Chain A
Amino acid sequence: MQDYTKFKLKSNNELSLLLEGKDNLLVLSCNKCFKPFDGSCANEPELDDFLAIARDLGVNVTAAQRVDFLCNSHRLSKLLSNLPYQASAIVVISCGIGVQSVAELAKIPVYTACDSIKDSGNHGISLTDKQCDACGQCFLSTTNGICPVTQCSKGLLTGQCGGSKNGKCETDAEKDCAWEQIISQKSLDHNANSNDIMPAIMNDFTQLDDICVYNYNKISKHDTADLALQIQKKRDESFYGGLYLKHRKVFSAFLTLQKFPLPEKVVLPMSQHAGMSAEPIVRVGDYVMVGQKIGEAVGTLSSSVHASVSGVVSEIASYRHLTAQHETVCVTIISDGKDKLHKSVIPIPYWEDLDIYDIDAIIAEKGIVGMGGAGFPTPIKLKAQKPIDTILLNGCESEPYITADHRIMLEYADDIINGLKIILKCTGAKQGIIVISDNKSDAIRHLEAKTDEIDDIFVMALWSKYPQGAERMLIARALGRKLEPGQRPYDVGTIVLNVSTARAIGDAFTRGMPLIERAVTVSGEKVRNKGNYMVRIGTSALKLLDYCGVEDDAEIRLGGVMMGSLLDNFDVPVIKGTNAVIATSRSITWSSDCIKCGRCVNVCPMELLPLYYPHYEATDNFSAMAQMNVNHCIECACCDYICPSGIDITGAVRKGKKNLC
C-alpha cells in the first residue's frame, strides 16, 4: 500500500534558520494518519531526523513526544495540560492542521518543522487515488465520473487543451490526460465498435445547457465554516465521541405490547446475569409453577432464577448461551399450558413499612437483575458502598430499532414509578431522575404527567446520541459528573438502572411476581409483523421469529444491531437481558487493512485508541492491549460501525478482555 505521508521535514537550511537562538524546546511529533498502520507509533523518521538536526545545531530540546492524531483537540488539550515540563516554545512535526491545533491551545510560540503535501482521497477517508477538490459545484455527472477539476492539471471544464501528447499531460509525461480519459469513456459508452464516434460525442455534449465556468463564489467560506462548527458542536454534544444513528424505531414504536403466546417449552439458563451461576434446586420430572424458584443464587454476586411457565422439568443440561462466555446449566420446562401461579407469588403492598434490608432481600429473592443487557444483579447494585444522592432510570434506549423500553414507559408507567420509589427508599437517595431520549416525546410527556405530583421524581429529556444509554455517558450528561476510568457510578453518588428493571421491581412488590417475563422488540426490515411483546424468559428466539415471520436471507441478532450478538442458531432462549430480536438485510462484510484514518478514535466515547486493539489481537499481544486500557472499553461498537476498512474491532476487544481476565 502506498504511504500517504502528509508532511515532510523542511530543508536543513530552513530549519537552522528557524532554530537559530531558540532554546528549551518541546517537540511534538504526529504519528500521522492515512497510512498503513503497523501498530507501532515510533516508526516515523521525522522526529529522529529533526532531533539530529537540532543536536547538530546545538539547540536544547527539553522533551520530545510522539502523539497519535495530534489534530484531535480534545485529546491534545489533555496532553498539553498534563505536560510535566515548561518549555519556552513548541516545535510541531505534523501537517498544518496539527500545528494550528497546538498553536490554538498552547500559550507559548509554536513553530512547524514541516511542509504539508497534498494527498489524494482524504475526503473519502479510505485511501484511493481519487481526488475531490470539494469545489462545491460537482461536474462529475457530465464527465463520466472523472473529475476535471482535480485530474486536469489546468482544471479545464470544457475539454482537452492542445498540450496532451500520447494521451499524457503536458506537465507530466507520466500523468494521463484527464480529458482524453473522459472522452474515451464517452466514446466507449455510445459506440464501442464504430470508428466514427463524432455524432455520439456531439449529441452527448449538446445536452449541456451552457458552457461550464467555475463559480468561485458558489459556497461562501463563511457558510462552510459555520456548517463545520455546527457539526463539531453537535459532535461534542454531551460527551466526546459517539454517533448519531438512524433510529429506525418507527417500525415498532407505536405498536402496543402484546402478550406473546405461552411457549410449549422454556429453556432457563442458570446464568443470565453477571457473577456466579445459580444452582438448580429442581430435578428432572418435578412439576413447577409460574414464579417458583428453580435456581438458587450462589455467593454474593449472583441471582436466583424462576420458572416462567407451569409444567414439568424435562431436562437439566449444560449449553453455551451465546451471550455468555462459558457453558451454563439450563433447566428446560415443558409447559402444561395452565400457567398456574406458584404460592410464593403474593403481593407485598406494605413495602413502605419494611426496612431497607428486607426490601433488598425481596428484590434478590425475585431474581431481579439489570435488564439493559449486562445483567448485573440489582440487589448488589442497590447495596452501594458509598452514599447515593440520585437514582438515574435509563430510558434512553439509544440503539436503533429497539422500542421495548419505550413501550414499557408508556404502558407500565405506574410500575416504573412504584419501582423507583422502592429504589429511592432502599438506597436513601434524595431524588430519582427518569432520563429519556428526545426521540420518545410521547413517553416523556406521559411520565412527566405521571410524576408531576411526586416531589422527588423527575423526568429529563436528552438529545439522542449513541451510546447515550451507557452508564458513564448518562451520568455525565444528566448530572454533569464525570467518571474516571475504573470508577463506578456510586463513586459519584449515583446508581443507574434500566426502566425495565424498575418496572420489574415494581411488579415484584405489587404482584409479587419474580422476573419471569420481559418486553422484547421484534423488528428489522426483514421481519414481516414487527412488534413489541411481553415474552416469558426462556422462550426461544426461533419461536418469536416464526410467530412474526422472517424472510430467509435475513441477518438476525439477539439484542441491538450495535451491541447485540449475531445468531447463527436461532434456537436460543430469551433471557433477562434480551431486549430485542432484530432481523435486517444481510450486510456486506469486507475488511481490509487499517489505514489509520483515526475515525475510531474520533467516535470512541471512552476516549481510547481502538485501532491498536485488532493489531495487538492479531499477534496475541494482550499485555499491550491492557496497556492501551482495553478494559475501559464498553463495547458500544461505534468504532466497528465507523471503520472504513470494515475491521471487527469490538471482536478483538472481547478476545482481549477474555484473555486478560
Chain B
Amino acid sequence: MLLTDLFKQGEFVITSEVGPPKGCSLETLLDRADKYLRCVHAINVTDCQASVMKLGSLATCKALLDNGHTPVLQLTCRDRNRIALQSDLLSAAYFGINNVLLLTGDHTTLGDAPNSKPVYDLDSVSLLKAASMLESGSDLDGNKLTGSAPKFAKGAVVSPCSDSVNAQLHKMDAKVRAGAEFFQTQTVYDPERFISFISRAKSFGVPVMLGIVILKSARMAEFMNKNIAGVSIPQFIIDELAADPERAKSGETGVEIAARVIKECRPYCQGLHIMPLGLEDKVPQLLECL
C-alpha cells in the first residue's frame, strides 16, 4: 500500500515510528508493533537514528512487512554514497517496501561512533531526485534499469517550528521539485506556528503530516527545547508536565497534550506522524482521544 494513494483517497493518514535495536533480535520490536501499532496506516523505521549504530532499517522493514504491517523505510545520506543508496532503494522495492522517507541524516559526530567518516555524497534533495529517476527507469547518472521500474511513495521531512523557517521553506521547495510526495514534520507543540507555516507551505500542494512526540517529563521537554533542532515547547506545557511528575511519567499527561495539539492542527494538515519514543503503548490511547 502506498501512502500517496491514501492521501489521494482523502484519508487522514496516520503513521508511527519504531527504532531498531542495537543487536540482532527483533522479537520485542515486532511484539510491541503487533500489540500497539495495528491502529496506524504505516510504521516508520529509523535508519541508525541520531547516528547510533543499530540493526538496519531495511531488515526491520522487511520483518514488519512479513508480520502484516506497512513499513516506511527511512534512508539517510550519512552512511552511504549514491551507489549504496540507490541500491538500497532497489532492494526495498524488491521486498515490496515502497513507502520511503528520505533524509540527510544526523551528523556522525552526534552518535556513538563519532570518529566515523560522514558521507553525504548525496543529500535529501538529491536522494529524492535519485528515487524519482529510479521510478522513471534510470539511475541518477542516467544509466537504464532493466525490467520494470520501481514505484515509491517518496516522503521527506520538514521542521515547521524551526527558528529558521525561511531556510526550511527553501529546502521544502527543493524537495518538492526533486519529487517529494508527502512530508512528515518535526514534533509540533505550538499550533500557531504550525498553522502559520502551513499557510506558506500549502502552495507546494503536497500533503503534510503533523509530527508529534509524546512527552514524558518536564526535564525531557526542557532537554528537547535546548538540544533538539526545530523543537520549541511552550512554557505552559512544561509547567503542566511538572505539576504531576508521576502522571507525566506514565504518559497520560503527554497524551493529553498531544491530543490537544493534534486537534488544533488537524484542519491544516493531511496526516499525523506519532513518534512514541518507547511509549508505543500510548499510541492507541492517543488515537482514541481524537
Set of chain B residues within 8 Å of A72, measured between Cβ atoms: none
Q: Tell me if A159 and B170 are in contact (CB < 8 A).
A: yes
- Complex partner residue of A179 from B126, B167, B173, B229, CB under 8 angstroms: B167
Q: Which residues of B contact A170 (CB under 8 A)?
A: 106-107, 110, 229
Q: Closest chain A residue to B230 by CB distance?
A: A162
Interface string of A168-196 (1 = CB under 8 A from B): 00110000010110011011000000001
B122 at the interface (CB under 8 A from A): yes
B252 in contact (CB, < 8 A): no
Q: Which residues of B contact A154 (CB under 8 A)?
A: 78, 104, 107, 118, 120, 123
Min CB distance A165 to B, Å, is 4
B178, CB-defined interface residue at 8 Å:
yes
Closest residue on chain A to residue B225 by CB atoms: A165
User: In chain B, what residue has the closest Cβ to A161?
Assistant: B104
Is A213 touching B140 in the complex (CB atoms < 8 A)?
Answer: yes
Give which listed residue, B110, B123, B163, B178, contacts A156 with CB less than 8 A.
B123
Known contacts A154-B104, A154-B118, A170-B107; is-contact A201 B173 (Cβ 8 Å): yes
The answer to whether A160 and B167 touch across the interface, beta carbons within 8 angstroms, is: yes
Given A156-B120, A198-B169, does the pair A211, B164 have CB atoms closer than 8 Å?
A: no
Known: A165-B163, A167-B163. A157 touches B200 (CB 8 A): no
B162 to chain A, nearest CB (A): 7
Contacts of B104 in A (CB 8 A): 154, 156, 161-162
Residues of B160-211 at the interface with A, using a CB-CB cut-off of 8 Å, are 162-164, 166-171, 173-174, 177-178, 186, 200, 203
Residues on the A chain within 8 Å of B229, using CB: 162-165, 170
- Inter-subunit contact B166/A184 (CB<8 Å): yes
B228 interfacial contact with A, CB 8 Å: yes
In the complex, B98 has a CB within 8 A of chain A: no
Contacts of A209-239 to chain B: CB distance below 8 A:
211-214, 216
Q: Counting CB contacts under 8 A, is B121 at the interface? A: yes
Q: Of residues 576 to 596 in A, which have CB atoms within 8 Å of B's CB atoms?
A: none
Q: Which residue of B lies closest to A173 (CB)?
A: B227
Task: Kindly list chain B residues whose C-beta atoms are within 8 Å of the C-beta of A161.
Answer: 104-105, 123-124
Contact B170 A201, beta carbon cutoff 8 Å: yes
Closest Cβ–Cβ distance, residue B97 to chain A (whole Å): 23
Tell me whether A213 and B186 are in contact (CB under 8 A).
no
A171–B227 alpha-carbon span in the complex (Å): 11
A171 touches B159 (CB 8 A): no
Check B157 against A158 for contact (C-beta < 8 Å): no
A136 within 8 A of B: no
Residue of A160, A161, A177 with most partner-chain B CB within 10 A: A161
Q: Which residue of B lies closest to A182 (CB)?
A: B167
Residues of A within 8 A of B (CB): 153-167, 170-171, 177, 179-180, 183-184, 186-187, 196-198, 201-202, 205-206, 211-214, 216
Beyond known contacts A154-B104, A162-B168, A162-B229: 16 more, CB 8 A cutoff: A154-B78, A156-B104, A160-B170, A162-B157, A163-B107, A164-B229, A177-B164, A183-B164, A183-B167, A198-B200, A201-B169, A201-B173, A211-B126, A212-B126, A213-B140, A216-B121
Query: Residues of B at under 8 Å CB distance from A?
Result: 78, 82, 103-107, 109-110, 118, 120-126, 129, 140, 157-159, 162-164, 166-171, 173-174, 177-178, 186, 200, 203, 227-230
Top-4 shortest CB links A-B: A159-B171, A158-B125, A160-B167, A183-B167
